[in-house]
Structure 1
Amino acid sequence: MTQSVTREDFDTWMVPLYAPAPFIPDRGFGSRLWDKEGKEYIDFAGGIAANALGHAHPALRQALEQQAAKLWHTGNGYTNEPILRLAKQLIDATFAERAFFCNSGAEANEAALKLARKYGHDRGGPEKSAILAFDRAFHGRTLFTVSAGGQPAWSRDFAPLPPDIHHVPYNDLEAAAKLIDDRTCAVIVEPVQGEGGVIPARREFLAGLRERCDRHDALLIFDEVQTGVGRTGSLYAYMHYGVTPDVLTSAKALGGGFPVGAMLTTDVIGRTLGVGTHGTTWGGNPLAGAVGGRVLELVNTPELLEGVRQRHQHFITRLQAINARLALFREIRGLGLLIGCELRPEYAGQAKTILRAAAAEGLMMLVAGPDVLRFAPSLIIDEQDIDEGLERFEHACRNVVGEGRL
């Protein structure tokens, strides 16, 4: 007999790292989801930008089920066909010549940072170890990646932290240039800061980082965990900007909701990590390779990427109209289907209040800090679902404003 569970059981059984919503999602299809009580929600959260093709996409289900009937897992002492095919797809579609697979974005960034340190040590000795990152960045929750992240509240309780990591304001090329020198082994940057507030980089900022990394033989790492695999309307955001990194990390949408991460780089740089210098038990397993390969086949087409750009404009137009009526947002920004609405100063700190009100109206969405509402829906969300979801969103905002909770 299956044990019945409730949301309250989370508070009893789980380590209290999260404060999940009061409902338990039970099933989903496309951009709609139903909880255990049968209530319907429109999903603008997308599994934190991971469900690139929505819930239960038939082609992804087929890929998973077919592979599950053949081979699930062998470990890194062996290779497998699905992951090799996925590696070749990524190489053919990007600047990369080598791929490393893992289970998450944090692991992909951990691998990238370890690669950078070893590359620096090999070429310049142990003194070439400095890493430049940016305020309000997010690169994961391992000790190395949370140290590279520019949010001290998430790292200070775990000191002492890995040394020689320095932070400057995002989009401030002048401040970055002062710290990039011959001791620098890497600069790690998100083309769009996601958790930091959905803030797109300026092209001249990324181009300037590229030039200074070249000048000082440092690796430029693009963290595309949230922006990759179609999210910005390009397969990867570096293509939108026309600035090519040395190392790129990918996860989230790469598996369409199935756990998989990847670090992509060139042949010369990739050879820095020889046998035994890094690894993972589960990374690159056949299930992840099969699903990721199908995701790339479906996403990396001109039609789908153009559809993302069109949906972006539809979202922006509707959000601007809502703001014209309610005057809630100081700025609406983002690329593709990664969109942020920053609350006006008089509503500072109230993003979660609106998030909870939206859930009550049957809408799942995200925040990006206390002042920014974040939208990261399926890349193929129907226009009808966008419109209905934004109607629910506006109703939630009106309810909150009307009750004086903002």
Structure 2
Amino acid sequence: MSHKEFKQYPVQDLMYVTPRPELVFTEGSGMWMTDHTGKRYLDYLQGWAVNSLGHSPQCIQDALTIQAKKIINPSPAFYNAPSAELAALLTANSCFDRVFFGSSGAEANEGAIKLARKWGKLNKNKAGQNRFEIITFNHGFHGRTIATMSASGKPGWDTIFAPQVPGFPKAELNDIASVESLINEHTVAVMLEPVQGESGVVPATREFMQALRALTKKHNLLLIVDEVQTGMGRTGELFAYQLAGIEPDIMTLAKGIGGGVPLSAMLAREEVACFEAGDQGGTYTGNPLMTAVGLAVLKTLLAPGFMDTIKEKSAYLSAALTKLSEKHGLDGERGEGLLRALKLGKDIGPQIVDMARDMGPVGLLLNSPRPNLLRFMPALNLTIEEIDQMIAMLSEVLTRIEKQNK
């Protein structure tokens, strides 16, 4: 898009929150997006793992159209069929018993924090005091509200909107001793991402997750898994906690559950679901338009053989990234399922992102959460051909950078 064409759009009226390229996307289908000039882009961001079935899948189009003709929002003060059906399908396919629906991952995580603190008030320590501290992890990411930023371990976030909400001591991922050292009479829970996405796709090991579950049970603490990014098939299992064979007490979902629409969920075991009337709510919670979409997405994931295809494509993508890394002398790859990272060995991530996007006639959309790596979050139903095409395009960009640096 030329600068002149781009200026036709009144983007100056949007509040600045992040730098954006001079592009206006107008259409999307599957793994592809098209801008105003007609240029197509192979999209490996997918809204930061939001579009679990790609851009504008037919099942979501149908769910929105059908439900919009019935009822959109009767108010959370009343039951509606899609939310009830989605909750039932989630609990039937997980270890949880109760579901609260929201609109964003941060909202789901706020709900989890509130529920844990409410449970800690009802299950006091030996001195009769409330338990409220939730151990979280350095480099973790739980959202952009004040409380979820406080729970996050992203460097520098402790000062941006200081003072933080107290009660979130930080441990180190995959270091069970660091968790145990923080437990005291005020501790009520441990909260973590099974794969730290924003920090560079760093998985918690199976052994760590199992040790964490044993430790929390030993001290009568809740275990909260933030599966905003890892849930809904992203890791090759429906939920990432299943990789370790454990059962947490609370789980949060967002991103993939809505397949592109604003939908999130907070799930809990029956004995933990202690909210009373007025403790939790929200104008859009569980509205039938969004939960109808969630139902369509989940039914697609649960269709016979679908999860097997995710595992097959995950293995293929991992092998392809490893081969690419060897070809260009990079530092390898890591991840779980279709949430993967390519370790670059040097701070060229932003340069790769810009060059890949601007290459022609077809662009490639990538993400570099850290300057020394790339993160891949494709649609779960991408094709092998789209993996091969991405690898070829990325290899071309890496070759150009190598020539520039000679």
| Equivalent position amino acid for 1:90 in 2 | L
Unpaired runs of 5+ in structure 1?
none
Q: Which residue of structure 2 lines up, in the alignment, with residue 52 of structure 1?
A: 52
Alignment of 1:306-317 (within 5 A): 306-317=308-319
Secondary structure of 1:341 counterpart: strand
Contact 2:200 2:341 in 1 (8 A): yes
Alignment of 1:97-246 (within 5 A): 97-124=97-124, 125-246=128-249
Q: Which residue of structure 1 lines up, in the alignment, with residue 61 of structure 2?
A: 61
After superposition, give the CA deviation of every residue in 1:258-296 in whole Å (9 maximum; x if it has no partner): 1100000111211x1111011111121111111000100
Aligned partner of 1:357 among 355, 358, 361:
355
| Equivalent position amino acid for 1:169 in 2 | E
Find the aligned partners of 1:8 and 1:371 in 2 and give their Cα distance.
35
Give the drift of 1:245. 0.7
TM-score (norm 2): 0.94
After superposition, give the CA deviation of every residue in 1:159-201 in whole Å (9 maximum; x if it has no partner): 1111121002111111111112442111001100100110111
Find the aligned partners of 2:202 and 2:304 in 1 and give their Cα distance.
25
Unpaired runs of 5+ in structure 2?
none
Alignment of 1:364-375 (within 5 A): 364-375=365-376
Give the drift of 1:304. 1.2
Secondary structure of 1:312 counterpart: helix
Q: Which residue of structure 1 lines up, in the alignment, with residue 92 of structure 2?
A: 92
The sequence identity of aligned pairs, in percent, is 36
The answer to whether structure 1 residue 381 and structure 2 residue 379 are counterparts is no
Give the drift of 1:369. 2.1
Q: Which residue of structure 1 lines up, in the alignment, with residue 30 of structure 2?
A: 30
TM-score (norm 1): 0.94
Q: Which residue of structure 2 lines up, in the alignment, with residue 403 of structure 1?
A: 404
Contact 2:142 2:151 in 1 (8 A): yes
Q: Which residue of structure 2 lines up, in the alignment, with residue 276 of structure 1?
A: 278
Alignment of 1:10-25 (within 5 A): 12-25=12-25
Contact 2:138 2:170 in 1 (8 A): yes
Query: Using a 3 Å threshold, how does the CA distance of structure 1 residues 153 and 275 change in structure 2: closer, same or farther?
Result: same
Aligned partner of 1:248 among 247, 251, 275:
251
CA RMSD of aligned residues (A): 1.7
Contact 2:207 2:244 in 1 (8 A): no
Give the drift of 1:155. 3.8
The answer to whether structure 1 residue 267 and structure 2 residue 265 are counterparts is no
Secondary structure of 2:386 counterpart: helix
Find the aligned partners of 1:245 and 1:6 in 2 and give their Cα distance.
48
Contact 1:249 1:261 in 2 (8 A): yes
| Equivalent position amino acid for 1:234 in 2 | E
Contact 1:120 1:185 in 2 (8 A): yes
Secondary structure of 2:332 counterpart: strand
Find the aligned partners of 1:253 and 1:9 in 2 and give their Cα distance.
30
| Equivalent position amino acid for 2:68 in 1 | A
Find the aligned partners of 2:7 and 2:90 in 1 and give their Cα distance.
39
Find the aligned partners of 1:369 and 1:149 in 2 and give their Cα distance.
16
After superposition, give the CA deviation of every residue in 1:204-229 in whole Å (9 maximum; x if it has no partner): 11111111111122110000000000
| Equivalent position amino acid for 1:368 in 2 | P
Alignment of 1:338-353 (within 5 A): 338-344=339-345, 347-348=346-347, 350-353=348-351
Aligned residues: 397
Give the drift of 1:306. 1.0
Contact 2:321 2:332 in 1 (8 A): no
Find the aligned partners of 1:243 and 1:8 in 2 and give their Cα distance.
53
Find the aligned partners of 1:153 and 1:8 in 2 and give their Cα distance.
37
Find the aligned partners of 1:358 and 1:10 in 2 and give their Cα distance.
26
| Equivalent position amino acid for 1:64 in 2 | L
Find the aligned partners of 1:75 and 1:384 in 2 and give their Cα distance.
45
Most deviating of 206-215 and 135-144: 206-215
Give the drift of 1:12. 2.2
Give the drift of 1:5. 8.0
The answer to whether structure 1 residue 76 and structure 2 residue 76 are counterparts is yes
Secondary structure of 1:281 counterpart: coil
Give the drift of 1:400. 2.1
| Equivalent position amino acid for 1:84 in 2 | A
Find the aligned partners of 1:259 and 1:164 in 2 and give their Cα distance.
29
| Equivalent position amino acid for 2:88 in 1 | K
